[in-house]
Amino acid sequence: MWHNSVEPDAWPAPVRVPDLNLVSGAPIPQAPLKAQRGRPLVIRVGKHLRGLFDRIIARSSLIPNDPVLDVRNFPWTASLRENWEAIREEAIRAGLAREVPSLASISPDHRAIAPMNRWRSFFLWGYGYRIDENIAQCPITNALVAQIPDLNSAFFSILAPGTHIPPHRGVTKGLVTCHLGLVIPRDGDVRMRLEDRVLRWAEGETLVFDDTYDHEVWNDTSGTRVVLLIQTKRPLRNPGKWIAELFLGIVKRSAFVQEARANVLRWNAAHKPMDS
């Protein structure tokens, strides 16, 4: 379960989550103006201030602002590469050998970019909150992840055969994303377009990038792609560090994260093994 969370009630209908795609830039139908007025402040003003925030963060960055980043700037990636086979074993046991929720069911705002039941996620950490029930199934992975400085999120990202995730952007330049390839099918093409570059994963290798650049993903194979997705805070000086911390704090407290936490709790409660 989420650390320091209350016990969930009986499994209800999926909880609607305020639409953070207005902040993240994911392609969605335009909501009526009247509906937008009722959205939380982070949603209503975030889309207007995000560009300004990201420019300040970029100027304050202690690492390059390139789409693809040098793994040598992130020494903690070495331990992931060194232990990738043990991480893969846990990912297969926890993420492929059991039912795992789709990202769209946990966070309905992702439905525009995450077709139902095509992109599944097994969360260990989400926006600084740990999921104890899931962590218990992946002790090796969690021990490695817990050592990562300024960790924001960590989860197994599971992409079904034939899936296309359309163009989208991440929430803030204050975060950096890392993928560790775990299960990469070889009977076709599994790739990501990041701006004007096409990237491909390799098992046991890490890819670090800035997900605020426009990107999309394809799994044009008959197999399932699995990566360990890590998000950490970008190394920053002020004023960008202050801006990034402020924005992430607002997002962490928003319904986008808090209701997603509730949905994970309810999923775990509803799918708890009968003998546990």
SS3 content of the chain, % helix, strand, coil (to 5): 35, 25, 40
Task: Give the pLDDT score at 252.
Answer: 85
Q: What's the CATH number for 21-270?
A: 2.60.120.330
Please say whether the beta carbons of 176 and 208 come within 8 A.
yes
CA distance 51 to 152: 21
Q: Which of 19-23, 42-46, 215-219 has the highest mean pLDDT?
A: 215-219
- Please tell me the least confidently modeled range out of 8-12, 40-44, 82-86, 134-138: 8-12
- Please tell me the least confidently modeled range out of 82-86, 94-98, 204-208: 94-98
What's at 49, amino acid-wise? L
% of the chain exceeding 90 in pLDDT? 59
Mean pLDDT of all residues belonging to the chain: 81
Return the SS3 of 72: helix
pTM: 0.81
- Backbone φ and ψ for 227, nearest 5 degrees, come out as -130, 155
CA distance 102 to 107: 9
From the centroid of its chain, how far is CA 110? 11
Which residues in 17-45 are b (16+ Cβ under 10 Å) and which e?
Answer: bbbbbbbbbbeeeeeeeeeeeebbebbee
Q: Which of 9-13, 98-102, 186-190 has the highest mean pLDDT?
A: 186-190
User: Mean pLDDT over residues 58-84, rounded?
Assistant: 98
Task: Give the pLDDT score at 42.
Answer: 52
